[in-house]
Amino acid sequence: MRILGVDPGLTRCGVGIIDANADRSVSLVSVTVLTTDKDLELPQRLLQLRSELAALIEEFKPERIAVERVFAQHNLRTVMGTAQASAVAFVEAAERGIPVDMHTPSEVKASVTGTGRANKVQVATMVGRLLTLPEGKLLPDATDALALAICNAWRGGAGTAPKGALTPAQQRWRDAERQAKKRG
Amino acid sequence: MRILGVDPGLTRCGVGIIDANADRSVSLVSVTVLTTDKDLELPQRLLQLRSELAALIEEFKPERIAVERVFAQHNLRTVMGTAQASAVAFVEAAERGIPVDMHTPSEVKASVTGTGRANKVQVATMVGRLLTLPEGKLLPDATDALALAICNAWRGGAGTAPKGALTPAQQRWRDAERQAKKRG
């Protein structure tokens, strides 16, 4: 299963492509950070982003696309750019019939590090380990895009509810954990 | 000069198309409110919006497109949908080389009513008068899209600074008005 992760942004848009294998291992296919020219007008920047993203989709033919779910941020301008960049990714995916999933930052962190409160360094370290990358080579946006793709590979995407992705034994374990927390 | 105004939205996207004549009169070409199916996933909704907007652009061949500039709103979910819908309009315009302008709601209100603090009813009334429409027929999103197109027609768009659009006599009048306000 080939998965393309998008950390959407207008100035820097991380794109990470991985192959998710049946044994739950993941391997790097490609990773890049797309940038658009700040001197261009917004419509031209979005068009540029679209062309570059479309080229990657055509080249690597992902079967699923995972996009970070955007939430409130301090800077509204950033939120707008992020939302607009994600719209470009959504339309490119939908046009080609590629299923899209959204994951929150904490889902992504929890998937690759085991905790939704992991910091950037932890996430980067785990992404590097899981994909057996050389250390200290990736830009943060690139790391986040790869982490998204890994999260999507493991959580199950394309409308698969997380609960459905658990085996009966895993569900019992989860239920037991919840009970323990309530008691604690 | 044919102008297409877009009041961007995911659930309801107003589109108003006008012809702006040399004598500053404006006439209605077409107006509609595009809707997308709430039951669809976000990528499919954006794709649907794109198809419908593209069809209108192909049919009416606007020379300029005016889009409402989105600002902070109370509901972040609404802002996101608005930003994503506007991204679709931007890309459709940029792809065809059609210049795009953005106008703030207060610019639009000021253009059609004379005050940036006009309410919805005032704006609707003036849009109806300027385009000689029968009363009480338009949805609010449709009215806003037409008001945007009229604003664009009168302020001058496509990179024309408002100042440059004034004749020397108009500039003197504006400067005199400002002086009067300072004194007041």
Q: What digits encode the pLDDT tens for the residues B3-17?
A: 999 999 999 999 999
Task: Taking residues A64-68, report their average pLDDT.
Answer: 96
Q: What percent of chain B has a predicted confidence (pLDDT) above 90?
A: 67
* pLDDT computed for residue B173 by the predictor: 62
Q: Categorize the per-residue pLDDT at A75 as very low, low, confident or very high, splitting at 50, 70 and 90.
A: low
8 Å CB contact of A83 and B87: yes
Mean pLDDT is lowest, of A142-151, B85-94, B129-138, for: B129-138
Token readout for A122 is 């932890």
Contact B89, B51 (CB under 8 A): no
Q: Write down the number of H helices and E strands in chain A.
A: 7, 5
Is B53 touching A (CB cutoff 8 A)? no
Chain center to CA of B133: 17
pLDDT band at A77 (very low <50, low <70, confident <90, very high): low
Q: Can you tell me the distance from the alpha carbon of A163 to that of A172, in angstroms, rounded to the nearest whole number?
A: 11
> What integer is the mean pLDDT of B123-148?
88
pLDDT at B180: 64
**From B81, which residue of chain A is nearest by alpha-carbon distance?**
A83
**Mean pLDDT score of chain A, rounded to an integer?**
86
Average of per-residue pLDDT across A16-44: 94
The amino acid at residue B163 is K
Task: Pick the more confident residue, B164 or A11.
Answer: A11
Q: Is the pLDDT of residue A59 over 80?
A: yes
Residue B183: is its pLDDT beyond 70? no
- Whole-angstrom distance, CA of residue A99 vs CA of residue B173: 58
What confidence score (pLDDT) does residue B156 get?
Answer: 74
**Catalytic annotation on B39?**
no
The residue that leads in pLDDT, A159 or A24, is A24
Q: Which residue of A47, A86, A95 is in closest CB contact with B47?
A: A95
Query: According to the model, what pLDDT value does residue A6 have?
Result: 97
Q: Which range (A152-156, B42-46, B154-158) has the least confidence?
A: B154-158
Least confident of A106-110, A142-146, A173-177: A173-177
pLDDT given for residue A161 in this prediction: 37
**pLDDT, mean over chain B:** 86
DSSP annotation of A15: E
pLDDT digits (tens, 9 = 90+) for B150-181: 999 998 765 433 333 445 555 566 666 666 65
**Does the pLDDT of residue B142 top 70, yes or no?**
yes
- pLDDT band of residue A122 (cuts 50, 70, 90) is very high
Mean pLDDT value across residues A42-54: 97
State the Cα–Cα distance between residues B143 and B169, nearest whole angstrom: 32
Q: Is the pLDDT of residue B34 over 50?
A: yes
- Identify the residue with better confidence: B147 or B181: B147
The secondary structure of A24-60 as a DSSP string is: S-EEEEEEEEEE--TTS-HHHHHHHHHHHHHHHHHHH
| DSSP bridge pairs for A27 | A19
CATH superfamily of domain region B2-183? Ribonuclease H-like superfamily/Ribonuclease H (3.30.420.10)
Provide, rounded to the nearest whole percent, the portion of chain A with pLDDT above 90.
66
How far is the alpha carbon of A25 from chain B, nearest alpha carbon, in Å? 28
Chain A's closest residue to B98, CA to CA, is A43
Which residues of A are known binding-site members for Mg(2+)? 7, 68, 141
- By the CB < 8 Å criterion, does B85 face chain A? yes
Q: In this complex, do A80 and B85 lie within 8 Å of one another by their Cβ atoms?
A: no
User: Where along chain B do its domains lie?
Assistant: 2-183
Q: What is the pLDDT of residues A86-116, one digit of tens each?
A: 999 999 999 999 999 999 999 999 999 999 8
A54 touches B at CB < 8 Å: no
| Dihedral sign computed on CA atoms, order B63, B1, B54, B125 | positive
Over range B103-110, report the average pLDDT: 93
Residues of A noted as catalytic: 7, 68, 141
